[in-house]
Amino acid sequence: MKVIIIGGVAAGPKVGSRVHRICPEAEVILIEKGEFLSYAGCGLPYYVSGVVQDQKELMSTPIGVVRDPVFFRNVKNVNVLNRTEAKQVDRTHKQLTIKDLQAGTESKLSYDKLVFATGATPIIPPIKGRQLKNVFTLQNIEDSESIKAALSEGKAKDVIIIGGGLIGIEMTEALISKGCRVTIIEKLPQILPMLDWEMAYQVKEYLELKGIKVKTSTTLTEIKGTDKVDSVVTDQGEMSCDFVIMSIGVRPNVSLAQDCGLEIGSTGGIRVNTAMQTSDPDIFAAGDCVESTNLITGKPCFVPMGSTANKQGRVAANNLCGRKDVFSGVLGSTVCKIFDFNIGRTGLGETQARQEGYNTDIILSPAPDKAHFYPGAKPIMMKLVIDRETRRLLGLQVVGMGVVDKRTDVAATAITAKMTIDDIANLDLCYAPPYSPAMDNIITAANISRNKLDGLFEAITPMQVKEKIDHGDDFIFLDVRSPGEYATVQIAETTLIPLGKLREECQQLPKDKEIIAFCKISLRGYEAALILQEKGFKNVKVMDGGVLMWPYALIKK
């Protein structure tokens, strides 16, 4: 069997390596347009910052062997043709036309099985000035080298990032570490559209505390300069800069697949079945060029991730070698780090869940990531999205200074297994003070959700409270923290009655008004609601998330 793979970054090398392991008699040829192979694209921001010091580290095995053509030939039995472009696929005769980009010559290769691992292409808006020097993307090693060179000159002080997605956000730390002043311009009303608004707002406030300017609802209209960029023009005005990084997103690279008549999905990626097989049974596809399936909704989605590409590559290799395997879909599980701030998410957000027709409930649950008494415990803010009817977990988002990845991974596992919040609340998760509270954050959040769904209390989000304040609604905003906490941080106009005094002082509160109780994380707010209900108060709510999830900009200090 002769297998040709087009693309040599993530999915392609995975296919080649797996074919070699389970079908060693196969002849495998890997075609790569660029020079570099099997590198960690997600590591590029860390190479720019210097955290990863040597380019070779991004394309080396765990023991430091560089994955170059010699490595693939000697270790994987894969013949690599890099600096070679795949030009045309003749499906009838099962031939691929290739071009040697150094020699300029074309030739044809026959195949039994063909694999598309052509990746994705950065989105560059068709605006004036996009071709100027010092306008970069960050898609490959060559891009990172160009950015590093511009930074090394010492003249690039004002940098504008177009797009507030993952790569753009991750690049801020690298640029700040090099002494740059950074502005993020995002067309949407929020950065990180993978998050719900209130969670993305927490990230935005953190970035601004670090000195990064974040301009949302702002559209780039032009890039100005003679030879290199001098400024950018938006619908909100003009800003001078030394260079620009385009980080708007990527689109699947499917032109070659389209030209040979393969079916393209609704998201723009190559349509594949669960075996990673295209509309041609002898052609497979994997990685950022393909369309995936959302595991919850069953609908097509495009979520380009290196982790997904590797899993899909393995499944494609298994099936083209005759070993049945299935790739069912994705949840969009993502984690990233910005300075000391961590972000994780999986599954559906609140807005997406409602758009899909779910009767959703949400839980906001901030708490330390470790036992509160253990040195180094740091806060994380968690949001759960629940289906009221089935009590199943639909999604999780978690941000903060503490550990978020393990909570995200637990949630991804629970969603895949179709677990309910009742199941999650009784998971036998590890406990020791250096690692988590006695009841891990996700277990606590699940229990809060159970209490809420079971009618033990009524919750209201911080933003809903803010809307009531803005509308002038008449209600009692009851702060049950200690006087010391109150003196340090206040939010809006509140009535202070510490929880320990609430039983004896609650009679001063009017029973005919709505009362919204809260504390730092609203555990005491919940206790306050129970006390008030016991004392005959009928209209009592708990502000979900407490002070920790009240938008920073609205806090009085």
Residuewise pLDDT in 10s, the chain (557 residues): 999 999 999 999 999 999 999 999 999 999 999 888 888 788 888 888 888 888 888 888 888 888 888 999 999 999 999 999 999 999 999 999 999 999 999 999 999 999 999 999 999 989 999 999 999 998 888 888 888 888 887 767 899 999 999 888 989 988 998 889 999 999 999 999 999 999 999 999 999 999 999 999 999 999 999 989 999 999 999 999 999 999 999 999 999 999 999 999 999 999 999 999 999 999 999 999 999 999 999 999 999 999 999 999 999 999 999 999 999 999 999 999 999 999 999 999 999 999 999 999 999 999 999 999 999 999 999 999 999 999 999 999 999 999 999 999 999 999 999 999 999 999 999 999 999 999 999 999 999 999 999 999 999 999 899 999 999 999 999 999 999 999 988 888 899 999 999 999 999 999 999 999 999 999 999 999 999 999 999 999 999 999 999 875 445 54
Dihedral of CA atoms 208, 165, 202, 430 in degrees, nearest 10, equals: -130
Handedness of CA 388, 390, 394, 399 (dihedral sign): positive
* pLDDT confidence of residue 52: 86
Q: For residue 431, give the amino acid letter.
A: Y
Cα 404 to Cα 191: distance, rounded to the nearest angstrom:
19
Which of 42, 180, 289, 506 is catalytic? The answer is: 42
Q: With residue 152 as reference, give the H or E element that holds it.
A: helix 141-152
- The full length of the chain comes to 557
**Token duo for residue 347:** 């599954």
CB atoms within 10 A of CB 452: 21
What pLDDT was estimated at residue 276?
98
Q: Report residue 158 as tokens.
A: 């004002």
Q: What is the pTM of this model?
A: 0.92
Under 8 Å between Cβ of 129 and 222: yes
pLDDT in tens, 306-326: 999 999 999 999 999 999 999
* Per-residue model confidence (pLDDT) at position 556: 52
Going by their DSSP bridges, the two strands 250-252 and 243-246 should be labelled as unpaired
What is the distance between the alpha carbons of residues 232 and 130, in angstroms, rounded to a whole number?
A: 10
Q: Which two tokens stand for residue 358?
A: 């779910």
H-helix segments, 426-522? 441-453, 462-471, 483-488, 499-505
pLDDT of residue 47: 85
The span from the CA of 269 to the CA of 290, in Å, is 4
Q: Is the dihedral of CA 35, 36, 41, 43 positive or negative?
A: negative
Domains delineated in the chain = 2-39+55-119+251-320 (3.50.50.60), 135-248 (3.50.50.60), 334-453 (3.50.50.60), 459-556 (3.40.250.10)
The DSSP 8-state label assigned to residue 525 in this structure reads: H
- Catalytic: 42? yes
Q: What is the pLDDT of residue 58?
A: 87
Tens of pLDDT, residues 22-33:
999 999 999 999
